[in-house]
């Protein structure tokens, strides 16, 4: 007996949905989209903590930290164990993506931050590793790289400029020279030693 293939191969009538047992909720009922940002959070130094950083800590998908006005206004919240300059510098480092590397280059050249503190080193390394949003030639944020140069995105796009690269390398070289053969803190040495890829 002959029959059509569509008479034998019927569509699957089941409609599968995900249920989260831990939260006792259907995934489609969640109010916010699912992300992995909680796995990529920055280390916030203990000097900042809840005193200066808002409860909504910047995340890789929404990396807007405090504005320059908020940083200056939070001076009175500075803990007694760090200087006001270090307190402000730590906040400036987390103040957004578009000026991150210029801010990091400035802080490398200043004496505001103590790179011997593990908190500072962890924040600096975390900021350097965060990719951030892409910025194609059109100027609109996107998630798909247009070319290799555009893949550097908003955060690391400054490294396309030879002068900026040389400036950062010069500041790192000064820091390395300062560390030299000193038996300083391991975190400061580990931060600036670059291993070849």
- Pure H helices in the chain: 5-8, 49-52, 68-73, 84-93, 100-109, 118-129, 153-156, 162-179, 186-192
User: Exposed, middle or buried by CB within 10 Å (0-12, 13-18, 19+), for 109?
Assistant: middle
- Pure H helices in 45-117: 49-52, 68-73, 84-93, 100-109
With a cut of 50, say whether residue 56 has pLDDT above it.
no
Here the tokens at position 184 are: 């300083």
What is the end-to-end Cα distance of the chain in Å, rounded? 66
Predicted structure pTM score: 0.67
Over residues 106-135, the pLDDT tens digits come to 999 998 988 888 888 888 888 888 877 766
Over residues 132-186, the pLDDT tens digits come to 776 655 555 445 545 666 667 778 888 888 999 999 999 988 888 877 666 666 6
């Amino acid at each position: 007996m002959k029959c059509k293939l569509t008479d034998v191969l019927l569509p699957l009538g089941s409609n599968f949905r995900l249920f989260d047992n831990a939260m006792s909720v259907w995934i489609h009922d969640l109010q916010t989209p699912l992300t992995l940002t909680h796995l990529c959070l920055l280390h916030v130094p203990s000097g900042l903590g809840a005193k200066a950083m808002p409860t909504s800590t910047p995340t890789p998908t929404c990396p807007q930290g405090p504005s320059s006005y908020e940083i200056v206004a939070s001076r009175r919240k500075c803990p007694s164990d760090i200087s006001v300059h270090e307190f402000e510098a730590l906040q400036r480092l987390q103040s957004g993506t578009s000026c991150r590397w210029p801010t990091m280059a400035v802080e490398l050249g200043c004496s505001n931050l103590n790179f011997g503190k593990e908190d500072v080193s962890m924040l600096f390394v975390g900021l350097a590793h965060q990719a951030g949003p892409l910025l194609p030639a059109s100027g609109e944020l996107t998630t798909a790289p247009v070319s290799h140069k555009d893949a550097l995105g908003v955060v690391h796009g400054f490294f396309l400029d030879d002068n900026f690269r040389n400036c950062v390398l010069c500041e790192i070289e000064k820091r390395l020279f300062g560390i030299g053969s000193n038996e300083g803190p391991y975190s400061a040495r580990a931060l600036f030693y670059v291993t070849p890829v």
